Structure 1
Amino acid sequence: MKTHYLFCLILVLTFSSVRAQDDYENLTVSIGVVVSDLEASIEFYTNIMGMEETGELDLNGSFGKASGLTGGRPLLVKILKLKNSPDATEYKLVSFGNDKTRFDKHIQDQNGMQYTTFFIKSTEDIIKRIRENNIEFLGDTPIKLPDGRTFILIQDPDGVFIEIVGH
């Protein structure tokens, strides 16, 4: 009897997870990041990381409160993508004018979203932009990975770790 119950449970869990995966309309995830200075963050992500601003959402305070996103404050969301394509992940930036609250030294220092990884074809241009803008390389980066690619670690204007991996 226990074996039959266990078999049924495994079947239910298997089919439940498959069904849940089929529920998704999009195969990308939109990531929302609250930043202290919207313009500085847009500057970083467009001019250093090479993303492009593809749109915005201007949401009033009523929506902010009804949706539970804010306590009634309006929000202007700037949408950035690596490429202006419907298949590209959205990186959404919003600011409420909050002060910078942290600049961790390592991803282990706090829970929550700590880093974003960008995979690029060549690291040559981005290394040049990082140096020209006096952005600090963290650790001993850039370093070579065993597969021949280069790994770079920097931080955005609010201290979010940015991993860059490429040739």
Structure 2
Amino acid sequence: MKTFSLFILTLLLTHFGVAQSNFTSKVIGVGVVVADVDKSVDFYVNGIGMVKTGNFTITEDFGKRSGLSNGVAAAVTILKLENSPEATDWKLMSFGKKASHPKPKYIQDDTGMQYITIQVKALQPIIDRLTKMKVPFLGSTPTLLNDKAHFVFVQDPDGNFIELIGPLN
């Protein structure tokens, strides 16, 4: 009976106590189609402070076979918050055309992925870079969140909203 109870306990702990993952990575890579990849890379690298970590090409053949682009080739530029395997891939690609829908003014203006949140060590250097680039700040930002953090809200060149959260200095 003791062996049977131990067996049942082991089964229960294995089934309920330890979550098994079906994923080979704990990060999600995000692909963003942009109108002008150079303008977007400039915004994210020189404004936000991301780093360029790589690139690859989606060939016409792969685009068609995969259903990704119906046979249209595209270059993809990979950006990250830091160059490490644990950092999310922010993959920018362009097909050389503007969006077919209007640029949102507020996050409720459209459905789908509308914003990303980036936690930063110091907001002021980013604010300074974005100001120099003439990127408009939305609302009354920076907005105080608590005694340690402020909130800054901007849009990238294609209208994707970016929340920046952290201390000013």
Please indicate, yes or no, whether the TM-score normalized by the shorter chain is above 0.5: yes
Q: How far does the alpha carbon of each residue in 1:94-144 deviate from its partner, in whole angstroms, 9 at most, with x for none?
A: 000121442211111110010011100011100111111111110111110
Aligned equivalent of 1:5: none
Query: What one-letter code is carried by the residue in structure 2 that aligns with 1:65?
Result: K
**Counterpart position of 2:164:** 164
| Counterpart for residue 47 of structure 1 | 46
Higher mean C-alpha deviation, range 154-163 or range 127-136: 127-136
TM-score normalised by structure 2 residue count: 0.85
Give the distance between the partners of 1:108 and 1:147, measured in 2 at CA: 28
Stretches of structure 2 lacking an aligned partner (at least 5 in a row):
1-11
Which structure 1 segments of 5+ residues have no match? Answer: 1-10
Q: CA deviation at 1:54?
A: 0.7
The residue identity in structure 2 corresponding to 1:157 is P
Other-structure match for 1:113:
113
Specify the alignment match of 1:93 in structure 2. 92
Q: CA offsets, 1:51-83, max 9 Å, x none? A: 111111112100001111011011111100111
Where has structure 1 moved over 2 Å in runs of 4 or more? Answer: none
Paired AA for residue 161 in structure 1: F
Q: 1:46 aligns to what SS in structure 2?
A: helix
Rounded to whole Å, the distance in 2 between the matches of 1:135 and 1:40 is: 12
Could you tell me how far apart the structure 1 residues matched to 2:55 and 2:148 are?
38
Q: Which secondary structure state, in structure 2, belongs to the residue aligned with residue 32 of structure 1?
A: strand
Counterpart CA distance in 1 for 2:130 and 2:80 is: 19
Give the counterpart letter for 2:128 in structure 1: K
Q: Is the 8 A contact 1:102 1:158 kept in 2?
A: no
SS in 1 for 2:56: strand
The aligned counterpart of 1:69 is: 68
- Aligned-partner SS, 2:44: helix
Shift of 1:147: 4.5
What SS does the corresponding residue of 1:128 show, helix, strand or coil? helix
Rg larger in structure:
2
SS in 2 for 1:125: helix
Contact 1:30–1:91 (Cα < 8 Å) also in 2 = yes
Query: How many positions carry a matched residue from both structures?
Result: 152
Q: Percent identity?
A: 44
The residue type equivalent to 1:77 in the other structure is V
Amino acid at match of 1:99: K
Structure 1 residues 2-39: Cα deviation after superposition (integer angstroms, max 9, x where no partner): xxxxxxxxx9xx86xx44xx111111000000000010
Q: What code does the residue aligned with 2:136 have?
A: E
Question: 1:144: which partner in 2?
Answer: 144
Question: Counterparts of 2:166 and 2:81 in 1: how far apart (Å)?
Answer: 15
Instruction: Supply the distance in 1 between the matched residues of 2:144 and 2:98 (Cα, whole angstroms).
Output: 35
Work out the CA distance in 2 between the residues paired with 1:54 and 1:72: 26
Q: Over aligned residue pairs, what C-alpha RMSD do you find?
A: 1.7
- After superposing the two structures, state which structure 1 stretch, 129-138 or 94-103, moved more: 94-103
